[in-house]
Amino acid sequence: MALLEIKGLKTHFKTDDGWLHAVDGVDISIDRGETVGVVGESGCGKSVTAKTVMKLIDMPPGKIVAGQVLWKGRDLVPLPPEAMQKIRAKEISIIFQEPMTSLNPVYTVGEQIAESLRLHEGLSRREAMDRAVEMLKLVRIPTPERRVRDYPHQFSGGMRQRVMIAIALACKPQLVIADEPTTALDVTIQAQILDLLQRLKDEMGMAVMLITHAMGVVAEVAQRVVVMYAGKVVEEAPVKALFAHPRHPYTQGLIRSIPRIDLDAQHKVRLEAIPGTVPKLIEPAEGCRFAARCKHARAECRQATPPLREVAPGHRVACILDL
Amino acid sequence: MGNYLLRRLLIALPSLLGISLVLFTVLALAPGDPFEELATNPAVPPEVRLALRAQLGLDDPVWQRYLHWLSSMLQGNWGFSFVSRIDVDTLILQRLPVTIAIVGSAVILGLVVALPVGILAAVKPYSWFDRIASTLAFIGFSLPTFFIGLLFILLFSIELGWLPFVFRADLSETGWRWWIEQFKQSVMPVTVLGMAFAASWMRYVRSSVLDVVRLDYVATARSKGLSERVVILKHATRNALIPVVTLVALQLPQLFGGAIVTEQIFRIPGIGSLLIDAILRNDTPVIMAVTFVLSALVILFNLLADVLYGWLDPRISYR
Amino acid sequence: MAGSTPASATAETQALGRPAAPASLWADAWRRFKHHRLAYWSLWALGLLVLAVLLGPLVYKVGINDVDFKARLAPPSWQHPMGTDDLGRDLLARVLYGGRISLAVGMASMVVAIAVGVTIGAIAGMSRGWVDAFLMWITDLFLSMPQLPMLLVLIFFFRDGLKSLVGPEVGIFVLIVLVIGGFRWMPAARVVRAQFFSLREKEFVEAARALGASTQRQMVRHILPNSLGPVIVAATIDVAAAIILESTLSFLGLGFPPDIPTWGRLLFDAKDYLDIAMHWSLFPGLAIFITVLSISFVGDGLRDALDPRRVL
């Protein structure tokens, strides 16, 4: 049984112009100890998917219209808030994108780490603070005994993200959702943070759902990749298979648009961009959502939304063509 | 923190000086002789008049008069009231406690109402609670305090006869009867003022909490599995209060305005009514002293607000 | 806004979903304004009020000083829709007249406050260093001064002087307008200064500068229109506050001369007859209340309409 199984999830938002189909029928499953990368461009619904798992979506205007989120076999969607609160941070935790604003400025980082510990493990103030120091050590923050009493504004962006990781891992959850954890950081810091996440994962054995728009990151860190586009999953495969033989035109476009500065570039290949823009997600029409930008598009593509079909073991694609 | 306090103090002092300068300029520029009361008051013999003129340096150059006046103000030598025939500082000290008690209670009442209502309205924006509360707030600060006061007197004193409408500083009752009488005569002015404060503060609290609740760290708090109540009260409110404190402090000058009107309606013998009486009776030393005291109080409270702000927001102390 | 993730994903995707509006900014603002029900109705109420006050005395030809001892303290009736005061004078006529004065004082004070505020804010915003610091210190100074006591003191000192200069009514009008406006310019100044600071370094200003436009002119031309929104909101608040201040002053006996029936003055006269002539206090009080309430709602509606960041 998979640790997390998202089945047919649909999260819609009510707007003045109609219902926005941010997540429109998404299936993702994650096994124990697995790192799954979820990629896609801005607005494709990956963050909303992640927040829906944690039930952190504002319920008006948002609404989970259909689908299940099975955590160890138990559906989280109908769960009342009190039950959900027990799962958050203890079993599933999340790391957000913006370290500069994700920490409360008026409490010390120690207090913020200790908070989850005191809530979920019933530790005393003293015990929780000691554990907070350990967590800071774990995420490689120097002089943790002193730093534990410092405020967020006294840390740099990269350090704050480490603190966020510390908070997320404090109660040793079984799944960590990392929502674009390095997007807001400098490139060199990005590498450090990803490295840290990888190492912690090896040490603690948790599963990771890594959300990003950078294909390069996913190639390094993930074991399986899920590609999302306009609220739907368009391709899903083990990482090597995805990069070796991407089947969906969108995935192909994504991989081809990664700038290469290695030897292959000596051939001076034109950097390929995917023409067009993401379609409007308000009351979208039937048909493949990528059709407007796809150079292989045919009449059938616009008639019905292609379902995910298995083209190789573990490799599924939402396209009627064989590319 | 000490550094920060020192800086705020250094800013407060020139402000006090600035206000005193403005006050004195007004006095100096005023056409006519504000001290003509001296001349027309038969009870003041000519020698005393001349001595006072010399003491006040009315014939000296302006800047000298200013320095002289300022130094006597700061020393607590506030002059002599022609009308009440006692030293101005005694007069003010007599009346100040009542005003502080009434305004203080009104501030507390205002906060007690504004904070929970504002927070609840922000947590469920555009709900029926929010709409009713916001509309009541608008009504509250559109009704001039004197009108509400009159309506209250009409209802509770005249129609229902429950509460007295004349305030007595010297109640004859003792023990807990004194407290009951005190409550009965204070409840209307305190409520009138307090509700006016609550009306405008509630809007500030609401908009501040609304701003904070959208921020990322509130989402982080929720993601830790904290209950919604803890998220709002511990994480959001603590941050939302910071700008509210500044706004309330900035509104302090208006508080005194409200006190003046309330004291007039309910005939409370406080600083506000002292000012009005002094104006109507041309008692210049009292006017100058009361205005100076009120300005000093405002600056003092602004300083306190700065201190509070520095204590609430750890980012401030480290700048 | 950089650095803040909205709690829902609608913000981003909505930008992609909405078609580009060809309508002008004003039309958009008007649409947002109408969304605010209370503001919309208040605008109508205010319009009616202004019309009544301006045209009323032309239609309702009862004198404000017509004394009639037989009809003293009469409750509302067909003959006297708002009743009469202790000298038998018709209250409706007096309230209508008072309305003109209150509105005139409100508008004039607002003009003074905005003019002073925008000027000071613009100067502070355009200069750096000590000019800005000095102007900010002055702004803080004025903000610290207890408004009502200072108003009272100023009126006390200058009332007679102005009276002898330009006559009692005009004198007190000018004094009150200058004094109220003189204490309400600070919010507008701050807002304008903030706009200048935030826009000063923006590209379009640089572009204008590159084209050779002089610093002052180009700043004013490009930056000032951007601060229009908050300044308009501040202006509406100023009108409401001025009306309340004027009536407070009159109520304390320190406003217009006793024979001029401003709303505050009417309440001042009426307060001693509270038990026997309730109508006398009620109508002027309600007039102030409804006027200020409508203006406040309109101001709130304007804030919704003109603040682009607002999530409605």
Would you kindly state where each structural domain of chain A is located, as residue ranges? 4-91+173-317
**Residue A2 region, left (φ>0) first, then alpha (ψ -120 to 50), else beta?**
beta
Tell which of B142, B220, B223, B297 to mutate to test the C interface (max C CBs under 10 Å): B142
Give the pairing type, strands A315-317 and A232-238. Answer: antiparallel
Burial class (CB in 10 A: 0-12, 13-18, 19+), C148: buried
Interchain CB contact of A292 with C (< 8 Å): no
* Structure token pair of residue A286: 């039937």
ipTM > 0.90?
Answer: no
CA distance C76 to chain B (A): 18
CATH number for the domain formed by residue range(s) C21-305: 1.10.3720.10
CA distance C260 to chain A (A): 52
Contacts of A319 (CB under 8 A, 6+ apart): A234, A235, A247, A248, A249, A288, A306
CA distance A114 to chain B (A): 11
pLDDT tens per residue, range C63-95 = 778 787 877 888 887 777 888 888 888 888 888
pLDDT at C3: 30
pLDDT tens per residue, range A294-319 = 888 888 888 888 888 888 888 999 98
Distance CA A27, CA A8 (A): 5
pLDDT at B92: 85
Coil, strand, or helix at residue A207? Answer: strand
pTM above 0.95? no
> Is B251 within 8 Å of B303 (Cβ atoms)?
no
Interchain CB contact of A276 with C (< 8 Å): no
pLDDT at B35: 57
Which residues in chain B have their CB less than 8 angstroms from residue C254's CB? 276, 279
Interchain CB contact of A40 with C (< 8 Å): no
SS (H, E, C) A61-119: CEEEEEEEEEECCEECCCCCHHHHHHHECCCEEEECCCCCCCCCCCCCHHHHHHHHHHH
Helices and strands counted in chain C (H then E): 13, 0
Tell which of C1, C12, C13 to mutate to test the A interface (max A CBs under 10 Å): C13
CA distance B230 to chain A (A): 11
Which residues in chain B have their CB less than 8 angstroms from residue C146's CB? 252-253, 256-257, 291, 294-295, 298
Query: Across all residues in chain B, what is the average pLDDT?
Result: 81
Asked if A57's CB is within 8 angstroms of C8's CB, the reply is: yes
Query: Across all residues in chain A, what is the average pLDDT?
Result: 89
Q: Stretch B256-271: mean pLDDT, rounded? A: 87
Tell which of B124, B217, B218 to mutate to test the A interface (max A CBs under 10 Å): B217
Report which of residues A227 and B293 the model is more confident about.
A227
**Rg, chain A, Cα only:** 21
Whether omega for the bond prior to residue A61 falls within 30 degrees of 0, making it cis, is: yes
Q: What is the residue type of A265?
A: A
Contacts of A234 (CB under 8 A, 6+ apart): A227, A228, A248, A250, A251, A290, A317, A318, A319
pLDDT tens per residue, range A37-88 = 999 888 888 999 999 999 998 887 889 999 999 999 899 999 999 999 999 9
CA distance B2 to chain C (A): 22
Q: Identify any residues that bridge with A36 across adjacent strands, giving them in sequence order.
A: A209, A224
pLDDT at C175: 86
From B212, which residue of chain A is nearest by alpha-carbon distance? A104
pLDDT tens per residue, range B79-101 = 766 666 677 788 888 888 888 88
pLDDT at C2: 32
Q: Identify any residues that bridge with B87 across adjacent strands, giving them in sequence order.
A: B80
Q: Given a cut of 80, is residue A227 above it in pLDDT?
A: yes
> Is C2 within 8 Å of A98 (Cβ atoms)?
no
Nearest CB partner across the interface for B239, out of A86, A106, A164: A106
Residue C166 has phi, psi (to 5 degrees) of -125, 15
Q: Given a cut of 50, is residue C11 above it in pLDDT?
A: no
Nearest CB partner across the interface for C157, out of B26, B135, B158: B26
Asked if C12's CB is within 8 angstroms of A101's CB, the reply is: no
Distance CA B248, CA B267 (A): 27
Q: Given a cut of 80, is residue C301 above it in pLDDT?
A: yes
Architecture of the domain defined by A4-91+173-317: 3-Layer(aba) Sandwich (3.40)
Contacts of C286 (CB under 8 A, 6+ apart): none
From B26, which residue of chain C is nearest by alpha-carbon distance? C154
pLDDT tens per residue, range A252-294 = 888 887 776 665 556 666 677 788 887 888 888 888 888 888 8
Name the nearest CA neighbour of A116 among A132, A140, A134, A105.
A132
From A98, which residue of chain C is nearest by alpha-carbon distance? C3
Asked if A62's CB is within 8 angstroms of C16's CB, the reply is: no
> Is B11 within 8 Å of C143 (Cβ atoms)?
no
Asked if C285's CB is within 8 angstroms of B138's CB, the reply is: no
Contacts of B52 (CB under 8 A, 6+ apart): B35, B38
Asked if B257's CB is within 8 angstroms of C148's CB, the reply is: yes
The chains found to touch B (3+ Cβ pairs under 8 angstroms) are A, C
Distance CA A226, CA C307 (A): 40
Asked if C140's CB is within 8 angstroms of B142's CB, the reply is: no
Which residues in chain A have their CB less than 8 angstroms from residue C14's CB? 15, 17, 20
Longest dimension (CA), chain C: 78
From B240, which residue of chain A is nearest by alpha-carbon distance? A106
SS (H, E, C) C21-41: CCCCHHHHHHHHHHHCHHHHH
Name the nearest CA neighbour of B25 among B62, B77, B79, B52.
B62
Q: What is the residue type of C242?
A: A
* Structure token pair of residue A40: 């896609």
> Is A226 within 8 Å of A36 (Cβ atoms)?
yes
Taking chain A, what is the end-to-end CA distance rounded to the nearest angstrom? 32
Asked if B287's CB is within 8 angstroms of C5's CB, the reply is: no
* Structure token pair of residue A290: 């990528």
* Structure token pair of residue A110: 């120690």
pLDDT at C22: 45
Which residues in chain A have their CB less than 8 angstroms from residue B215's CB? 101
Domain spans of chain C, in order of start: 21-305
Tell me which H or E stretch contains A155. Answer: none
Which residues in chain A have their CB less than 8 angstroms from residue B219's CB? 56, 96, 102
Long-range pairs of B312-315 with CB within 8 A, sequence gap ≥ 24: B312/A106, B312/B238, B312/B241, B312/B242, B312/B245, B313/A105, B313/A106, B313/B242, B314/A105, B314/A106, B314/A151, B314/A153, B315/A105, B315/A151, B315/A153
Q: Given a cut of 80, is residue C17 above it in pLDDT?
A: no
CA distance C308 to chain A (A): 16
CA distance A230 to chain B (A): 24
Which residues in chain C have their CB less than 8 angstroms from residue A281's CB? 13, 16-17
Q: How many CB pairs under 8 A join A and C?
A: 51
Query: Across all residues in chain C, what is the average pLDDT?
Result: 79
Asked if C251's CB is within 8 angstroms of B146's CB, the reply is: yes
Tell me which H or E stretch contains C66. Answer: none
> Is B226 within 8 Å of A54 (Cβ atoms)?
no
Nearest CB partner across the interface for B227, out of A85, A94, A106: A85
Nearest CB partner across the interface for C156, out of B214, B287, B294: B287
Which residues in chain C have their CB less than 8 angstroms from residue B250's CB? 143
Q: Given a cut of 90, is residue A95 above it in pLDDT?
A: yes
DSSP A29: E
pLDDT tens per residue, range B43-77 = 666 666 666 666 655 666 677 777 777 777 777 76
Q: What percent of chain C is modeled with pLDDT above 70?
A: 84
Give the pairing type, strands A92-95 and A175-179. Answer: parallel
> Is A207 within 8 Å of A156 (Cβ atoms)?
no
DSSP 3-state percent helix, strand, coil across chain C (nearest 5): 75, 0, 25
Q: What percent of chain B is modeled with pLDDT above 90?
A: 18
Residue B287's Cβ-side half-sphere holds a number of Cα atoms within 13 Å equal to: 27
Interchain CB contact of C5 with A (< 8 Å): yes
Distance CA B233, CA B215 (A): 15
Asked if A278's CB is within 8 angstroms of C16's CB, the reply is: yes
Interchain CB contact of B124 with A (< 8 Å): no
**Taking the CB of residue C261, how many other CB atoms lie within 10 A of it?**
25
Q: Given a cut of 50, is residue A137 above it in pLDDT?
A: yes
Interchain CB contact of A28 with C (< 8 Å): no
CA distance C293 to chain B (A): 5
Q: Given a cut of 60, is residue C306 above it in pLDDT?
A: yes
Interchain CB contact of B318 with A (< 8 Å): yes
Handedness of CA A20, A22, A27, A32 (dihedral sign): negative
The chains found to touch A (3+ Cβ pairs under 8 angstroms) are B, C
The chains found to touch C (3+ Cβ pairs under 8 angstroms) are A, B
Q: Given a cut of 60, is residue B39 above it in pLDDT?
A: no
Q: What is the residue type of B315?
A: R
pLDDT at C294: 92
From B314, which residue of chain A is nearest by alpha-carbon distance? A106
Interchain CB contact of C24 with A (< 8 Å): no
Asked if C10's CB is within 8 angstroms of A43's CB, the reply is: no
pLDDT tens per residue, range B3-37 = 777 777 777 788 888 887 887 777 777 665 555 55
Q: What Cα–Cα distance (Å) separates residue A52 from each residue in A57, A84, B84, C278, C300?
A: 6, 12, 74, 61, 35
Tell which of A102, A109, A163 to mutate to test the B interface (max B CBs under 10 Å): A102
Which residues in chain C have their CB less than 8 angstroms from residue A280's CB? 16-17
DSSP B224: T
